[in-house]
Amino acid sequence: MTTTLRPEGAEHSWPGGGRSRRWQICVNGRPVGGLRTTALPRGEQWWGEITELEVTEGRRRGRATIGALAAEEVLRGWGCSRLDVPVPAGADAALALAGVLGYTERMRNMVKRLGAPPELPAGLTAHRIGAAEYEDWLAEARSGYLADLLDSGLTEAQARAKSDADHQQVLPDRHATEGVALRQLRGADGAVLGSLWVALRQAALPDGRPLAWVMVVQVDEEHRGLGYGRSLMLLAERECLAAGVHDLGLNVFSRNEVAIALYTSLGYRTTLRVLGKQLY
């Protein structure tokens, strides 16, 4: 039997030059499943993604594996140097397949439904990051994000391209960008202990509820290990609720076990894992 991919409808273009196409997985010309390939520009490079992978007939016969490998070839042909596969929590078969195909977990998404606004520990206050603080804050945020991307398995060129694109997209008006909370956490003596960046309406949940997103939690190096990361997360919840949003999500790189433990202790649950690998 021969397993192939066959286009299912026309190719779609994305803003900024991306492209996407839905494919049928066929055995001897007969559809037995499907998947979608997407390619997005990251600076001068292209990143690929495989989503919507399903086998509707003849599972456990290697058809998903062959379909995924064929999708990799499509994305190589589209010029992608890196490929990510998002796997929803609970999709154990998809997670196992990704492992067999050589993907490694880079990061995970975690979400929490918020209750009453938490109180900050005594002596700690939040201050808005304005024009005077923005440049220094941005330099530190970019440096930390770049280090995380490198640690997650990206090459330096890929990490820099993604960092530049992400910051340009989500902070187009710098400190005055609407819909974001940029805050410093300060101690009783006025010393800056860390900083926070929350996108207050980053996305929507399947039922339509708005979802805020923690973009950056940064504790200054000399103050780490003293519980200020937890305080910044409490501040994030307060900012979220003050904006009328009751669901807060975040992305954490999988090697950051300390952060994962913190978020889990605060009630965040994993909703998605992202696994990736180099294509060339």
Mean pLDDT, rounded, for 110-130: 96
| Structure-model confidence comparison of residues 151 and 214, the more confident one | 214
Check pLDDT > 80 for residue 58.
no
pLDDT of residue 165: 80
Going from the C-alpha of 275 to that of each of 48, 54, 74, 87, 111, the distances in angstroms are: 12, 17, 18, 8, 18
pLDDT of residue 44: 78
**Domains in the chain and their CATH numbers?**
3-102 (3.40.630.30), 112-275 (3.40.630.30)
Q: What are phi and psi of 60, to 5 degrees?
A: 65, 25
Q: What is the pLDDT of residues 65-100, one digit of tens each?
A: 999 999 999 999 999 999 999 999 999 999 999 999
DSSP 79: T
CA distance 12 to 21: 6
Mean pLDDT, rounded, for 173-199: 94
Reported confidence tier of residue 171, pLDDT bands at 50, 70, 90:
confident
Q: Tell me the average pLDDT of the chain.
A: 92
pLDDT of residue 2: 82
Going from the C-alpha of 255 to that of each of 16, 86, 97, 150, 161, the distances in angstroms are: 31, 17, 21, 11, 21
Mean pLDDT, rounded, for 178-205: 92
Residue with tokens 């609720």: 241
pLDDT cut 90: percent of the chain above it: 72
Mean pLDDT, rounded, for 41-54: 90
Check pLDDT > 70 for residue 50.
yes
pLDDT cut 70: percent of the chain above it: 99
**Per-residue exposure over 71-83, b if at least 16 CB sit within 10 Å of its own CB, e if not:** bbebbeebebbbb
pLDDT of residue 161: 84
| Structure-model confidence comparison of residues 9 and 151, the more confident one | 9
- Number of Cβ atoms within 10 Å of the Cβ of 255: 15
Instruction: Determine the length of the chain.
Output: 280
Reported confidence tier of residue 163, pLDDT bands at 50, 70, 90:
confident
Q: What is the pLDDT of residues 133-155, one digit of tens each?
A: 999 999 988 888 888 888 877 78
